[in-house]
Structure 1
Amino acid sequence: MRQGLPHFIRLLCIASFCILLTGCINTTKDSSSPSTPKSASNNTSANFSDLLDSIWAYEQSGSSDDEKASKIPNIAPAKLAADAAQYQTYIDTLQAFDVNTLTHEEQITHTIQLYRLHNYVDEYRFNAHFVPLTSEYGFHSSLLNLYYRFDFDNNDSITGYINTLEDIPSYFDQQISYMRQGMAVGQVQPQAVMQGFEASVAAVITDNVIDSPFYQPFIQLDRDDAALSELKIQAMQVIHNDVNQAYQRFYDFLVNEYIPQAKNDIAVKTWPNGADFYQNRIKHYTTTDLDAEAIHAIGLTEVARIRSEMQGILDNVGFSGSINKFIQFLRTDEQFYAKTPDALLKHAMYLSKRIDGMLPQLFNKLPRVPYGVAPVPASIAPKYTTGRYVSPRNDTQPGYYWVNTYALDKRPLYALPALTLHEAVPGHHLQISLAAEMDNLPNVRRSTYISAFGEGWGLYSEFLGKEIGFYETPYDDFGRLSYEMWRACRLVVDTGMHVLGWSRQQALDYMLENTALSEHNVTTEIDRYISWPGQALSYKLGEIKIKALRTKAEATLGAEFDLREFHAAILAHGSVPLTVLEQNIELYIQQVKGQ
């Protein structure tokens, strides 16, 4: 999974620097008011380009070029309402545009812009800003990466950092106000997934300001002068008087109000208009018109198929017990677990370099940007997922493959090869970096991440490892199947909990029964699905579509089929809805046949 959050949380975070951003492309920010889009009756590519520029400028308008300016976004109710109204205006203009006057690439951009803008408006319409956190993450943790937005070799920029810190209290107060509005109407995260969440807030509060994560960039400076010394003193005062107090108020709110008053119901359908919201999330995350019942049925079919493949591995290694006995063996035998965090990271690094050398078998173009391997930050690791990809924050930095080193006895080595392929290469790093380097595409295309495409590609990347012999042992291959089973189970448990009446325990039992994931991993995953409804459906449905398109291309092209060219066609247009991907592959097939 790439590092990301629902837009309703990203929208309330520091959108210009937060690591939750997709792509993180450096662009010139226009802080002026949005221009009125030209009439769609004047349909030309030039007018369409002007409209794209207007939308992009509006989206970036909260980020000032003034180095001393605060980077905390305006999330006041009036601003959110104005944004939703402006995005609806853009939707109306785009929908009135005659797409037949556009090039193929512009038509894709038109579709993606509508997809994005509809999501902004939909989440506001469903009051998703009342719930600005998931079981893993929230607005408070996004701020820990605040300093990446500033140049600490520049005192004006440092002043901007301090000014931003000063705005954190009012920002937190507005977030808490939204959460209280959610409590009043029953739109809250369930109590079960919030237990212990306050620890991620408490971890930031410290009596010794020098230990604060907000002061760390000052410690890393290798220069000193009178002006900088004064800025350091100011920063200490702001962190002590403003930032710590804001985090303390949020902690007290969680412990004394939010968590105690949270509901036991886990289904998002119990929210106001919750059933409609869940169907809306299905459409957004899967880019399909499937309903929960259809997705649930697909999941059950996939689970049965994968269990059959798992049985084949048991037969291969001569294990006479059941699949569940084999899973228990994998969960408890110490040979499958690293002894130290460093050992786990080193194995992830080895796997990363090993797959790097195999990529030319699969691709004729590779990204310029490198990636590193790093542990999940300790402050969020206990409730965090197994691993994630974090996009480069700008074009001078690498991407990062995060590996969770918390609770080593729950991080099996046999699962690490599949995780590496998914999060690093040929998965998220390769796909996202190639999209970011497509200079012929507008900013919105290079920075947009569509979950069904990106996560479908990540899961397909795990499958590619099987084809090129990346999995060195039957246990590694079982780890791959367990990861595929994990994604298939998501189709069952996500829809089960949010629509079909499943309990949290029922979902936990189902995942433990069918995957080799540890109980700790299963618990954090189930809580993620509860708190982030619909997103987990994108992986398997996206992978199914990519595999189906490959099967069609192979059958149609026969000897003319080239796997590297097929992958190039999949990735050539960046992250796209599955309907657009299908059209792109149809065009690719026609072009090859025409040759």
Structure 2
Amino acid sequence: MKNIIFLISIAILTSCNKVKKESKIEKESASIDDIANQYIQHLFKYNPELGTFYQIENSDNIGLSDNSHEGLEKVERAEDSLFTALKSINPNSLDNNQNITYQLLKAEMQGSINQRICKKQLWSINHLDAFYTWYQYIGQTQPVGDSIGRAHTLLRWEKIPNYIHNDMVNNKKGLEEGYALPKPVVELVIEQMEQLVSSSIESNVFYMPALRDSNLVFQNKIKNQIETNIIPEIKIYLNFMKDEYLPKARTELSISTIPYGNDCYAAMLSASTTLKNSPEEIYAWGEEAISERETTIKKLGAKLYNSDDLQLIKESFANDSSNYFETKTELLADAQSAINRAKIKSKDYFNLYPKADVILEPISEIEEKTGYSRYLSASDDGTRPATYIQATYQPKKQVKGAVESTAFHETYPGHHLQIAISRELVKSHPVTKYLGNSGFSEGWARYTETLSDEMGLYSSDNHRIAMYMGLPTGMVVDPGIHYKNWTREEAIDYTLSKQTSMTRQDAERYVDRISVWPGQMTTYGVGERFFMILRKKAEKELGKNFDIKEFHDTCLKNGTVPLDFLTEEVEEYIKTKANNVYKK
């Protein structure tokens, strides 16, 4: 279950929004709703863990994804069948809501099919979304507390050793065929696995359902399954990683070094951004965006430090002890305070506003050193609220302003507001609540970091300059690594030269993340640039009739749509608004 942090893109409708009875897809007769229904049904059939995670109605809480070669081929055949049916649809025959469904399905499936050249199942074990990181989310949502829940949990847990074995087989094949991961990433995975097999059972991610159930017999059965079957399988995997994989791990970070690596990067870049721009173009955009932000930093630096010299500003900021936290408790309190302010103020900038709330939680122990702050959407049945997971590692090195901007990015007016609105829409097909792309979602969240300054959310000028110092280096470093073949040291050095708030360890984690998620880190800056361009266009053409609430609602009302489709929607809004004003 890969890229859970950024790429969860499916779920099934519940309660009053039930999927229609499954119907056979016929190329000549299938409607867009038929295809969307089948898309949801197929993905939950092949990924039952997501049904548990979203706590959907009638979820399969026993099954696991089939990550064997045969199982993965079944998924591809199902996807091909649906995409063939989709291509038979004439988008000009669809109404607006149906067209949104069509555009989302097309972008999702085309991106998935194009990325098959990457053979990502052969290099799936990494420190950010390995099987054990996913199971902490399943452990939190697996139904327990009664005899049925306990029985289903034990049946699912019996399947885990085989899943782990298949994952090792896939990565062993990848190693043999030239798909080895970078050595620093492999070392991080080994460190995590060693922690997993050496920690107490009670702190093991696979024991989490037992922590939520007081039945001693059930607890002992889970414990026995972990000790007797799961941990031994992880130890086999761990020995393989240490003895066979690590010696052959690649020294280069660039994905261009794997078979068809350049084509793979182009596919992953396009799928992430929903655009067809080249790595060279995105690299140039990044340099331009960084220059623009550095101009703002100079202006704030003149105010704070009586200097517009970038290096002096960076040094002065870095040496100011008031910019850093003392404890995790202080860090979490500041993050919560930022969320509270943003939740209230966002109502002044949006007509559309989510019903669902978001809670703050610290990152788990196993991910503390390597994980990132992130957002998890609420369950469909409302029993699990949306959650902002806050990174807490080394608080004395964490910049207060960066923590504040990340809170806005992940909650209000960023991810939570955008995703909750998307999931609460009722007019479009329910698939639109779950399909999406990083270009839109991460671009929106990054746009809202700057919007939060406009909204007056930052606590001080120190916090504001910290946000602007978070330069969009992903647009440069990502293609720098995967297109220009930068070494790890070159990527780290560049990152440190631009990202003032980062320690060397932060920069290493940043670069290693880019190495295993090619294309994804570009989406923040690319998407932000896109929203900025659309807003400037609306402001210019509408003049005094520009309404920030209307603009934001236009951007969000259709869910996480492809960026080219969003352009059409905003242009139509501008045209309609201008005509209505003219008629008056």
Partner of 1:60 in structure 2? 44
Q: What is aligned with 1:249?
A: 236
Q: Is 1:390 aligned with 2:376? A: yes
Matches of 2:142 and 2:218 in 1, distance apart? Answer: 14
C-alpha distance in 1, partners of 2:554/2:191?
45
Distance across 2 between alignment mates of 1:33 and 1:278: 39
Shift of 1:198: 1.9
Paired residue secondary structure (1:400): strand
CA distance in 2, matches of 1:163, 1:110: 38
Question: How many equivalent residue pairs?
Answer: 569
Equivalent residue in structure 2 for 1:497, among 475, 481, 495: 481
Amino acid at match of 2:492: L
Write out per-residue CA displacement over residues 357-391 of structure 1, whole angstroms, 9 at most, x where no aligned residue.
21121111211111111111111120123x21122
Preserved CA contact (<8 Å) 1:135 1:527? no
> How far is 1:25 from its partner?
5.3
2: CA distance, partners of 1:52 / 1:280 = 23
Distance change (3 Å), C-alpha of 1:308 and 1:86: same
**Match for residue 26 of structure 2?**
38
In structure 1, distance between residues paired with 2:149 and 2:9: 24
- The partner residue of 1:129 within 116, 121, 129 is 121
Query: How many angstroms apart in 2 are the aligned matches of 1:330 and 1:136?
Result: 30
Matches within 5 A, 1:492-531: 492-519=476-503, 520-531=505-516
Q: Which moved more, 1:148-157 or 1:210-219?
A: 210-219
Which residue, out of 264, 267, 274, partners 1:280?
Answer: 267
Q: How far 1:459 moved relative to its partner?
A: 0.8
1:120 and 2:108 matched: no
Deviation beyond 4 Å, 4+ runs, structure 1: 22-26, 28-35, 64-69
**Could you tell me how far apart the structure 1 residues matched to 2:542 and 2:91 are?**
30
Distance 1:393 1:449, change over 3 A: same
Task: Decide which of 541, 546, 555 is 1:570's aligned counterpart.
Answer: 555
Q: What is the rounded CA distance, in whole Å, between the counterparts of 1:542 and 1:98 in structure 2?
A: 28
**Aligned partners of 2:482 and 2:257: how far apart in 1?**
9
1:52 counterpart letter in structure 2 = A
Partner of 2:54: none
Select which of 310, 328, 331 maps to 2:318: 331
For 1:140-539, what aligned pairs fall within 5 Å after superposition?
140-206=132-198, 208-221=200-213, 228-320=215-307, 322-385=309-372, 387-394=373-380, 395-483=382-470, 485=471, 487=472, 489-519=473-503, 520-539=505-524
Cα offset for 1:22?
4.2
Whether the aligned pair in 2 keeps the contact of 1:168 and 1:246 (CA below 8 Å) is no
CA gap of 1:19–1:165, structure 2 versus 1, over 3 A, is farther
| Structure-2 residue corresponding to 1:225 | none
Name the SS for the 2:266 alignment partner: helix
Q: Assess if the C-alpha contact under 8 Å between 2:425 and 2:433 holds in 1.
A: yes
1: CA distance, partners of 2:218 / 2:395: 41
In structure 1, give the amino acid aligned to 2:516: S
Q: Note if contact 2:323-2:462 (Cα within 8 Å) is conserved in structure 1.
A: no
Consecutive unaligned residues of structure 1, counting only runs of 5 or more, are: 1-7, 223-227
**Distance in 2 (alpha carbons) for counterparts of 1:542 and 1:440:** 25
* 1:383 partner SS: coil
Work out whether residues 117 and 260 of structure 2, in 8 Å CA contact, stay in contact via their aligned partners in 1. Answer: no
1:379, 1:21 → 2: CA distance?
21
Residue 75 of structure 1 and its aligned partner are, at CA, apart by 1.6
Against the structure 1 CA distance between its residues 301 and 210, is the aligned structure 2 distance closer, same or farther, given a 3 Å change threshold? Answer: closer
Q: Secondary structure at the match of 1:471?
A: coil
Give the Cα–Cα distance (whole angstroms) in 2 for the partners of residues 19 and 467 of structure 1: 27
Q: Is the 8 A contact 2:115 2:268 kept in 1?
A: no
- Residue 39 to residue 196, structure 1, CA distance change in 2 (3 Å): closer
Matches of 2:132 and 2:126, distance apart in 1:
11
Q: Does 1:590 align with 2:575?
A: yes
2:71 paired with 1:85: no
Per-residue CA distance 1:388-407 (angstroms, 9 max, x = gap): 11222342221111211111
Q: Is the 8 A contact 1:187 1:272 kept in 2?
A: yes
AA paired with 2:78? Q
- Is the CA contact (8 Å cut-off) linking 2:405 and 2:467 kept in structure 1? yes
Q: Deviations over 1:488-533 (max 9, x none)?
A: x111111111111211111111111112232222211111111110
Residues of 2 paired with 1:446 and 1:252: CA distance? 42
Q: Distance in 2 between matches of 1:19 and 1:292?
A: 21
Task: Give the 3 Å change call, closer, same or farther, for CA 22–329 of structure 1 in structure 2.
Answer: farther
Do the aligned residues in 1 keep the contact of 2:132 with 2:205 (CA within 8 Å)?
no
Cα distance in structure 2, aligned partners of 1:473 and 1:207: 42
Deviations 1:441-464 (A, max 9, x none): 223210113100001100110111
**Contact 1:324–1:514 under 8 Å retained in 2:** no
Amino acid at match of 1:217: P
Structure 2 counterpart of 1:3: none
Deviation at 1:178, TM superposition (A): 0.6
**Structure 2: distance between partners of 1:467 and 1:298:** 23
Aligned equivalents of 1:26, 1:390: Cα separation in 2: 18
**C-alpha distance in structure 2 between counterparts of 1:136 and 1:147, whole Å:** 17
The range that moved more, 241-250 or 281-290, is 241-250
Give the distance between the partners of 1:376 and 1:330, measured in 2 at CA.
27
Structure-1 separation of matches of 2:19 and 2:419 = 27
Cα 1:334–1:441 change in 2 (3 A) is same
For the Cα contact (< 8 Å) 2:144–2:213, is it kept in 1?
yes
Distance (whole Å) between structure 1 residues aligned to residue 10 and residue 386 of structure 2: 10
TM superposition shift of 1:68? 8.5
If the length of structure 1 is used for normalisation, what is the TM-score?
Answer: 0.90
2:100 to 97, 101, 108: 108
Note the residue ranges of structure 2 that are not aligned, 5 or more in a row.
52-56
Residue identity matched to 2:454: E
Whole-Å separation in 1 of the counterparts to 2:402 and 2:477: 21
CA gap 1:419/1:32 in 2 versus in 1, 3 angstroms: closer
Secondary structure at the residue paired with 1:93? helix
How big is each residue's C-alpha offset from its partner over 1:237-279, in whole Å with a ceiling of 9 and x where there is no partner? Answer: 1121112222222222222222222010111011100000001
C-alpha separation between the residues in 2 aligned to 1:466 and 1:552? 20
Identity %: 22
Decide whether the 8 Å contact of 2:354 with 2:417 is kept in 1.
yes
Residue in 2 aligned with 1:543?
Answer: 528
Name the amino acid aligned to 1:132.
S
Q: 1:411-469 CA deviation, whole Å, 9 max, x = no partner?
A: 11121221111011100010001111112222321011310000110011011112122
- Per-residue deviation at 1:32? 13
The answer (yes or no) to whether the contact 2:254–2:485 under 8 Å persists in 1 is yes
Q: 1:25 to 1:323 in 2, by over 3 A?
A: farther
Report the alpha carbon displacement of residue 559 of structure 1 after superposing the two structures with TM: 2.0
Report if aligned partners of 1:38, 1:51 keep a CA contact under 8 Å in 2.
Answer: no
1:421 and 1:427 in contact (8 A); partners too = yes
- Contact preservation (8 Å) 2:19, 2:37: no
1:104 is displaced (CA, Å) by 1.6
Q: Counterpart of 2:276 in 1: which secondary structure? A: coil
